[in-house]
Structure 1
Amino acid sequence: MAEISLKEIEEFPVLMIRRRTSLSGLKEAIGDGFMKIANYLEYLGESPGGAPYVAYYNNEMDDLDIEIGFPVVSPLPGQGTIHSSKVKAFTAVECLYKGPYSKFSEIYGEMMKWMEYHDLSPAGAYYETYLNSPGEIPESELLTLIRISVK
C-alpha cells in the first residue's frame, strides 16, 4: 500500500506543450514533448526548475488531452508549440509511487479509494511528475509523484 496524503500545491511557472494523443501514441508524444522543451531550454541557456511532468485533463484513451511540461524558475517566453504558462495553486491527493509505469492503474485505484474514504472528488487535472528516467534505471526503481486535483 502506498502512502497517500492531502497537500496544497503552490502556483509555479512552466514551459509546456498541450496536445491530444491516443493511449498507443502516449509514450512517443511525451518523449517528443520533453525533448522539444529540453532543447528549447538549452537554446535559451536555462535549466529546468524541477522534474518534467504530464498533466491529464481527461481519461478518454482514444483522445487524451495532455499537457507535457517542465517547471521553470521564472516565467520564460514560449516559441511555436511551446507555451509559457503556470500551474495554478491547487489542493491535491498525492502519492510518491516507486515502480513500473505499467502498474499506474493499481496506484490510481488506491488513490481513488483514499479520496472516497476522505469524502474528496477529482476536480481537474491528474499530474504525473517523473523524478527519474526509464533510460537510466530499472523499471522497478522508477519514481513518479502522482497528484490528483481535488475538491
Structure 2
Amino acid sequence: MAELVGCRVVEFSRTVNIAIVGFQGDGVEKRLHAQCPFRVTHREQLLFGSVDMLYRDTGDAETAFDEYRTKFDRQARQLTGMVTEHECFVESAALGPVGLLSARLSGNVVVEVFPACGGRNVEQWRLFDWHDTSRHFVYPDSAGK
C-alpha cells in the first residue's frame, strides 16, 4: 500500500455495486475497486458508504440505483468535485488484518474497506494500475484462481 502514499485522489464513484476510488501519481492512474463494505469519513463524520447505494437521492426508488441517483452517487460526485478543486493526496495507507484497507487523505478524510465475506475465492477488493493490466493487487490473493 506504500505506493499509494503521495498519490493525488481524483475520483470517487461506483460501477454497479462496486465502489471506486481513483488515484494518480508519477504519471500512473490507479483504481481501487471495493466489492465489500466501504466508507469515507471526515474527522468523526461518516460522509458516505457502500450501503448508501441502496438509498435513492432523487426520483423513483425503483430506478435510482440503475440511474446513478443514490445517496452514494450524490456524495461521491460532491467529494470528487472537492478533491479536484482542492487537490487531495494520500498521506498514509495501511493493510490490516483480513484485508482491511485504510487510506488517510489530506484534509482528515479516511477511506476504509472492510472485507466481509468468507471464502478464499471471493474477491473483496482490487487495487490496480488503470492502463497496465499486469499490476493488480487483489484481496484475497486466491480470488479468481
State the TM-score bracket (shorter-chain normalisation).
0.3 to 0.5
More helix by percentage: 1
| Higher relative contact order (Cα pairs below 8 Å, separated by 6+ residues) | 1
Scaled by the length of structure 2, what TM-score is found? 0.38
More strand by percentage: 2
